[in-house]
Structure 1
Amino acid sequence: MASTKWNIDPTHSEVTFKVKHLMISTVTGKFKVFEGGAESEGDEFKKVNNVEFKADVKSIDTSNEQRDEHLRSGDFFDVEKHPYLVFKAESFDVNKDTVEGQLTIKDVTKNVVLDVEYGGQVVDPYGQTKAGLTVSGKISRKEFGLTYHAVTEAGNVVLGDQIKINVEVQFVKEA
């Protein structure tokens, strides 16, 4: 059976994250520039192989330019040395509710398991075959070398360790 190539449609996808600030509220951010793809066995987006996702860390956007510049700095992502965040998974079955793969942030690669909700496969009004997924999970930022730490005068932690990830992704089948 021939494999079919699928590419992420960035105009119908989004990559967001949430982190606790001062442990009393949550800040949301996103990556505005990303790409990726996968291969399926046959024409159906069911058993998927060679999943790869890459986000341009320079495109980080938390709706605050000063904070975004700090996140791009050596205190966090160090985008001059490590411009991309990458996730790779060898394979997964969309009928299962998780995907396991290697997440690389900065120069640290760790195995992660993320939740997957398959939205289905349809043909759009332009004749393109599309498949949708919601991918979510949590990671420890410190495990990936994002160890910046500050404490308020009262001893409160400024930034939480746990990062909630949510990816709404629409794949389009190559013609």
Structure 2
Amino acid sequence: MKTVLNVFIALVLFTNISFAQVGWTIDPAHTNARFEVKHLGIAIVDGAFTKLEGTVETANATNFDKAKVNFSIDVNSINTRVQMRDDHLKSDDFFNAEKYPKMTLTNATLNQGKGGFVLSGDLTIRDVTKKVTFQVKQNGGIITDPWGKTRAGFTATTSINRFDYNIKYNDKLPTGVDAVAPTVEIIVYVEAVKN
């Protein structure tokens, strides 16, 4: 009977350990969601969103393979260093920030790949949700900062076609070149802190 009880306890402990999750919170002071897009066919305009939040859930504190990721960005925090342009980007020509104040990445899973990770999830911009895949590099492993907190850093990149998300601004030069290109490069520098 004692052996059966020991096996049962071991099984319960193993089950609890195998399903335990470690929570991480995105540090907004050290996380940067950026974008780049070609302008008039000759230059790159870039910008960032300064207000964001997110969570990561891992199976343990040392491995991000199969991590679950959720991310939210405040569209009204867009900053391209030119107020007139920022106001235009918040308008219905682009994000319609009044009606759609958040962009989100949900149901995202981080999987170990060759030379890094692949993050796949549902990106919602305006009223459109589409699957998107980011290439992700972990920067420098997992560290303990001077204040005793456990941190990990990542760089995630992808590109999207803005027309896929009902971002409809479509002015063209007389030569037919897009004033603002359809393809938008996205770069997210993430610092996550273990809860």
Tell me the TM-score normalised to structure 1 length.
0.94
Residue 172 of structure 2 corresponds to 151
Q: CA deviation at 1:24?
A: 0.4
Residue 68 of structure 1 corresponds to 86
Residue 125 of structure 2 corresponds to 105
Q: CA deviation at 1:65?
A: 0.4
Query: Which letter maps to 2:135?
Result: D
Query: Which letter maps to 1:157?
Result: D
Q: Which range moved further: 138-147 or 82-91?
A: 82-91
Deviations 1:40-77 (A, max 9, x none): 10222423433101000000001110010000011110
Query: Which aligned pairs between 1:88-167 and structure 2 lie closer than 5 A?
Result: 88-94=106-112, 96-119=116-139, 120-167=141-188
Q: CA deviation at 1:157?
A: 1.8
1:44 to 62, 70, 74: 62
Cα RMSD, aligned residues only: 1.4
Query: Which letter maps to 2:131?
Result: N
Task: Name the structure with the higher strand share.
Answer: 1
Distance 2:45 2:101 in 1: 22
Q: Is the 8 A contact 2:68 2:110 kept in 1?
A: no
Q: Is the 8 A contact 1:45 1:131 kept in 2?
A: no
1:22 to 32, 36, 40: 40
Q: Is the 8 A contact 2:34 2:47 kept in 1?
A: yes
Query: Which letter maps to 2:159?
Result: K
Residue 54 of structure 1 corresponds to 72
Distance 2:68 2:117 in 1: 18
Query: Which letter maps to 1:110?
Result: K
**Larger Rg computed on CA atoms:** 2
Q: Which range moved further: 24-33 or 155-164?
A: 155-164
2:191 to 167, 170, 173: 170
Q: Is the 8 A contact 2:108 2:122 kept in 1?
A: no
Structure 1: runs of 5 or more not aligned: none
Structure 2: runs of 5 or more not aligned: 1-16
Q: Which range moved further: 41-50 or 126-135?
A: 41-50
Task: Name the structure with the higher helix share.
Answer: 2
Q: Percent of aligned positions with the same letter in both sequences?
A: 36
Distance 2:130 2:161 in 1: 11
Q: CA deviation at 1:155?
A: 3.6
